[in-house]
């Protein structure tokens, strides 16, 4: 891009000089130096694309009409167009290097003849010479891969010189370089500028000691500073009277009285682009944005001027870094909640929680897991959740999950307290209301595999029936008794067999985005607007409030535990023949000790309370192994073999 700018500038100078009279010519003993740019046209033997060139010239006038000149010229990279190029040893070189390029460098000694050496603007000349020419490949080739990359051609050509100024001339030249031994030639067309000095003053012997373009013979101000504009008599002037001459004065319209620098431009001590002559705040910090009077502005009122303030939109009252800090004017946010210190009224908000404009977090579903951290922000109030705010059984995860503490005493009878853990699955199914699941039951490897698979299938159906009785649509539940397979522990130990006897649940299908519509009910807020989170204990006591019906069953404590709901008692007579035998069966007849002697069998005893598994938080242990009224239907149903 710069080459084109130089070319345009040279042409403008040339056109402008046509209007001026030539003042001089080259003299004996004068020196000439300059630069050139143009194009090289390579010969057919070299098979190179034409390339741009540029170079330097330096000459000495032996006589006014004869000049010795040394010229260096180099070209840009040119592509090898065919594998027959004489610059490579054989065609395989181009095959191995398909993007092969060459640059050429020429060092030539030339002799110029100026046949019309008179005081004219336009002067033709002829040139003879001898050159050393080298070609450089890119990428670099091995020595044996190079062809004819050196030559010593003879230079023949001519050109024209146009006088632009007493010391400046424009040159255009066309030459051919003929290599007599290799028998090839290429041409060069170039343009350039040259400067002539010495030889008796100027380019033609007429001295101009101050270089203002007016010869000393006519110059009335021979000591004019270099660069100053002068009149025909060679004298400068100063339009704005700031003491800096026109041509040197880079600010010729400076108001009077303003202090200026050596270039004639107004001084600006604090570099705020407001001259000292009108700057009312001359000590403005560097980089600050200022008003028309040169004083800094502070749009956010944090004490850090605009321009230096890295955070120009800081809210009011926010604490910011000082002016000498790399982050001057920027506020802090200790808890990274997006509300700056000084404005944040809750500066210790946990990371990830969403906050209001005051920096305080929300808990829209009242589950004590803050919005932003809560992955299930619409969980029904009172539901048991994990640390991420979701039901403890995560049906939103694709992998199967083991239902903790869901165990069977013997056969298809559930351990006491199991319903509290199955209730967690109910909560999950109620929350992800569109999800369908598979209940998979596994057993240990002790016994017949077929019998174990049958037992696993019956246990899976027991769990499905329990879920259906607790409000879950049966079509959402698929059961599978896998039996003795996919062991996760050693079957040779009691502990391992206990782990292998497990129940797994996994999501089959369904839209995880669908949740029950009653979630945004506003009935819970009146029940526990603020106390609900503060008093978790009272909330379980409120279900105890219905214990008032328990006094009703209290007159008949022997079997009224299931009595709170007379409706289920009616169905019991129908299946009573079947449930009656099994219910006592597990308690008196201890099949479990026969199979796996564990300390758990005492749990089914009516008076025994110790439970084999730890209950989840917020779950109240039940009395006996008949569990709570909620588990009674399950106990009755599970008695049927």
C-alpha 95/C-alpha 90 separation (Å) is 10
pLDDT of 131-176, one tens digit each? 999 999 988 888 888 888 899 999 999 999 888 876 788 999 999 9
SS3 percent helix, strand, coil of the chain, rounded to 5, is 15, 25, 60
The pLDDT value recorded for residue 193 is 94
Query: Distance of alpha carbon 367 from its chain centroid, rounded?
Result: 36
H or E, element range at 449: helix 449-469
Least confident piece of the model among 63-77, 202-216, 385-399, 573-587: 573-587
> Full-prediction pTM beyond 0.75?
no
The pLDDT value recorded for residue 609 is 36
Residues comprising the chain, all counted: 641
The pLDDT value recorded for residue 207 is 58
Task: Please say if the pLDDT value at position 624 is more than 70.
Answer: no
Question: Cβ neighbours of residue 216 under 8 Å, at least 6 residues apart?
Answer: 206, 207, 208, 209, 222
153 versus 286: which is more confidently predicted? 153
Look up residue 506 and give its two tokens.
Answer: 């996994």
**Local structure of 78: helix, strand or coil:** strand
Q: Which CATH architecture has domain 2-198?
A: Beta Barrel (2.40)
Sign of the Cα torsion 623, 629, 630, 634 reads positive
Q: Are strands 101-113 and 122-138 parallel, antiparallel or unpaired?
A: antiparallel
Q: Regarding the domain with residue range 401-540+560-638, which homologous superfamily does it belong to in the CATH classification? A: OmpA-like domain (3.30.1330.60)
The pLDDT value recorded for residue 335 is 75
Look up residue 332 and give its two tokens.
Answer: 């802090």
Query: Distance of alpha carbon 394 from its chain centroid, rounded?
Result: 33
The pLDDT value recorded for residue 524 is 53
DSSP β-bridge partners for residue 502: 442
The pLDDT value recorded for residue 126 is 94
Mean pLDDT value across residues 217-226: 73
Helix axis angle, 418-431 to 449-469, nearest 10°: 60
Burial (0-12, 13-18, 19+ Cβ within 10 Å), 599: exposed
H or E, element range at 464: helix 449-469
Q: What is the DSSP string of 385-426?
A: B-TTSSBSS-TTSSS-EE-TT--EEETTEEPTTHHHHHHHHH
Mean pLDDT value across residues 201-221: 60
The pLDDT value recorded for residue 27 is 67
Domain spans in the chain, listed from the N-terminal domain onward: 2-198, 212-255, 268-330, 401-540+560-638
Most confident among 6-10, 448-452, 581-585, 615-619 (mean pLDDT):
448-452
Burial (0-12, 13-18, 19+ Cβ within 10 Å), 187: middle
C-alpha 41/C-alpha 30 separation (Å) is 33
Asked if residue 206 lies in contact with residue 217, where contact means CB atoms within 8 angstroms, the answer is yes
**Local structure of 466: helix, strand or coil:** helix
Q: In Å, what is the CA distance from 65 to each residue of 125, 126, 160?
A: 9, 11, 14
Most confident among 192-201, 247-256, 382-391, 546-555 (mean pLDDT):
247-256
Q: Please tell me what DSSP assigns to residue 249.
A: B
Task: Please say if the pLDDT value at position 74 is more than 90.
Answer: yes
485 versus 184: which is more confidently predicted? 485
Confidence of residue 350 (pLDDT cuts 50, 70, 90): confident
Most confident among 133-142, 316-325, 597-606 (mean pLDDT):
133-142
Radius of gyration of the chain (CA): 51
Task: Please say if the pLDDT value at position 530 is more than 80.
Answer: no
C-alpha 379/C-alpha 381 separation (Å) is 6
Task: Please say if the pLDDT value at position 188 is more than 90.
Answer: yes
Most confident among 22-36, 97-111, 346-360 (mean pLDDT):
97-111
Mean pLDDT value across residues 605-620: 38
Q: Are strands 101-113 and 66-75 parallel, antiparallel or unpaired?
A: antiparallel
Asked if residue 507 lies in contact with residue 435, where contact means CB atoms within 8 angstroms, the answer is yes
**Local structure of 545: helix, strand or coil:** helix
- Residue (of 532, 546, 215, 544) closest to 363 by Cα position: 532
Mean pLDDT value across residues 464-477: 91
Confidence of residue 219 (pLDDT cuts 50, 70, 90): low
C-alpha 185/C-alpha 187 separation (Å) is 7
Q: Furthest-apart CA pair in the chain: how many Å?
A: 143
Task: Please say if the pLDDT value at position 216 is more than 80.
Answer: no
């Amino acid at each position: 891009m710069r080459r084109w700018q130089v070319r345009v500038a040279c042409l403008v100078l040339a056109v402008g000089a046509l209007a001026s009279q030539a003042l001089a010519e080259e003299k004996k003993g004068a020196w000439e130096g300059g630069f050139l740019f143009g194009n090289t046209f390579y010969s057919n033997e070299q098979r190179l694309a034409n390339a741009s060139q540029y170079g330097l010239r330096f000459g000495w006038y032996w006589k006014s009409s004869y000049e010795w000149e040394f010229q260096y010229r180099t070209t840009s990279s040119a592509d090898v167009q065919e594998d027959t190029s004489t610059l490579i040893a054989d065609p395989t070189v181009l095959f191995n290097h398909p993007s092969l390029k060459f640059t050429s460098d020429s060092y030539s000694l030339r002799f110029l003849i100026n046949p019309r050496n008179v005081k004219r603007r336009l002067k033709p000349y002829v040139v003879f010479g001898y050159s050393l020419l080298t070609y450089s490949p890119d990428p670099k080739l091995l020595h044996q891969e190079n062809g004819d990359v050196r030559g010593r051609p003879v230079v023949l050509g001519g050109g024209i010189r146009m006088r632009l100024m007493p010391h400046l001339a424009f040159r255009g030249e066309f030459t051919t370089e003929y290599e007599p031994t290799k028998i090839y030639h290429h041409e060069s067309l170039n343009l350039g500028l040259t400067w002539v000095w010495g030889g008796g003053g100027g380019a033609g012997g007429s001295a101009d000691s101050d270089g203002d373009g007016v010869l000393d013979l006519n110059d009335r101000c021979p000591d004019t500073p270099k660069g100053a504009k002068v009149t025909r008599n060679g004298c400068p002037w100063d339009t704005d009277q700031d003491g800096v001459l026109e041509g040197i004065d880079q600010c010729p319209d400076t108001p009077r009285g303003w202090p200026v620098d050596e270039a004639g431009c107004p001084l600006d001590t604090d570099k705020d682009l407001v001259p000292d002559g009108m700057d009312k705040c001359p000590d403005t910090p560097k980089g600050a944005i200022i008003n028309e009077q040169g004083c800094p502005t502070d749009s956010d009122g944090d004490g850090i001027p605009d321009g230096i303030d890295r955070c120009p939109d800081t809210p009011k009252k926010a604490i910011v870094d000082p002016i000498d800090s790399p982050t001057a004017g920027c506020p802090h946010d200790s808890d990274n909640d997006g509300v700056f210190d000084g404005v944040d009224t809750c500066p210790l908000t946990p990371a990830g929680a969403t906050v209001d404009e005051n920096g305080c977090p929300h808990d829209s579903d009242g589950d004590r897991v803050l919005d932003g951290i809560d992955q299930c922000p619409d969980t029904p109030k009172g539901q048991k959740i994990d640390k991420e705010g979701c039901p403890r059984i995560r049906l939103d995860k694709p992998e199967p999950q083991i239902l903790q503490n869901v165990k069977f005493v013997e056969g298809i009878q559930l351990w006491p307290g199991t319903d509290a853990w199955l209730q967690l699955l109910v909560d999950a199914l109620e929350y992800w209301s569109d999800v369908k699941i598979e209940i998979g039951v596994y057993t240990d490897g002790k016994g017949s595999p077929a019998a174990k698979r049958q037992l696993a299938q019956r246990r899976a159906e027991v769990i499905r029936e329990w879920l259906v009785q607790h409000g879950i649509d049966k079509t959402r539940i698929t059961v599978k008794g896998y039996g003795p397979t996919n062991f996760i522990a050693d079957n040779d130990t009691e502990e391992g067999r206990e782990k292998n006897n497990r129940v797994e649940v996994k999501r089959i299908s369904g839209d995880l985005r669908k949740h029950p519509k009653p979630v945004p009910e506003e009935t819970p807020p009146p029940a526990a607007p603020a106390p609900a989170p503060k008093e978790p204990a009272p909330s379980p006591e409120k279900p105890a409030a219905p214990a008032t019906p328990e006094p009703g069953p209290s007159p008949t404590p022997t079997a009224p535990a299931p009595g709170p709901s007379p409706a289920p008692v009616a169905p019991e007579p129908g299946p009573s023949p079947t449930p009656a035998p099994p219910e006592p069966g597990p308690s008196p007849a201890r099949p479990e000790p026969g199979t796996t002697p564990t300390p758990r069998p005492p749990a089914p005893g009516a008076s025994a309370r110790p439970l084999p598994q730890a209950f989840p938080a917020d779950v109240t242990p039940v009395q006996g192994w008949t569990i709570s009224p909620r588990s009674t239907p399950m106990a009755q149903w599970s008695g049927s073999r």
